[in-house]
Amino acid sequence: MDVIEVIKEQLTSNPIILFMKGTPNAPQCGFSARTVQALMACGEKFAYVNILEHPEIREALKTYSNWPTYPQLYIKGELVGGCDIVAELYESGELQGMVKGAAVAE
């Protein structure tokens, strides 16, 4: 399976997935840490990919998503955005609804 197929499989198999530097319990950058905090505060399970352990995904996802930075949050296969967008959505209360909606649909 080529790397784009792996990415597509991850997106279809996980209603909420975060491509990040590190893991939720040990983020490796401040942006990933802030994004994880917002997601965890929503109270639903989510999948993650540590792009530091998967350099081929790290490079291919930038092209696939047309988004150059990490973290990248996807809900129901759609790119939500990175740290600033996720933080804004959390502050406005929208992220909680998006996450709960994806978790219910699982």
Q: Over its length of 106 residues, how does the chain's per-residue pLDDT go in tens digits?
A: 799 999 999 999 999 999 999 999 999 999 999 999 999 999 999 999 999 999 999 999 999 999 999 999 999 999 999 999 999 999 999 999 999 999 887 6
pTM above 0.85, yes or no: yes
Backbone angles phi, psi at 87, to 5 degrees: -60, -45
Give the pLDDT confidence score for residue 106 in this predicted structure.
63
CATH superfamily of 3-105: Glutaredoxin (3.40.30.10)
Give the pLDDT confidence score for residue 34 in this predicted structure.
98
Domain positions in the chain are 3-105
Give the pLDDT confidence score for residue 104 in this predicted structure.
82
Q: Are 37 and 87 in contact (CB under 8 A)?
A: no
Q: Which residue numbers belong to the known binding site for [2Fe-2S] cluster?
A: 29
Q: Which residue numbers belong to the known binding site?
A: 29
The maximal CA–CA distance of the chain, rounded, in angstroms, is 39
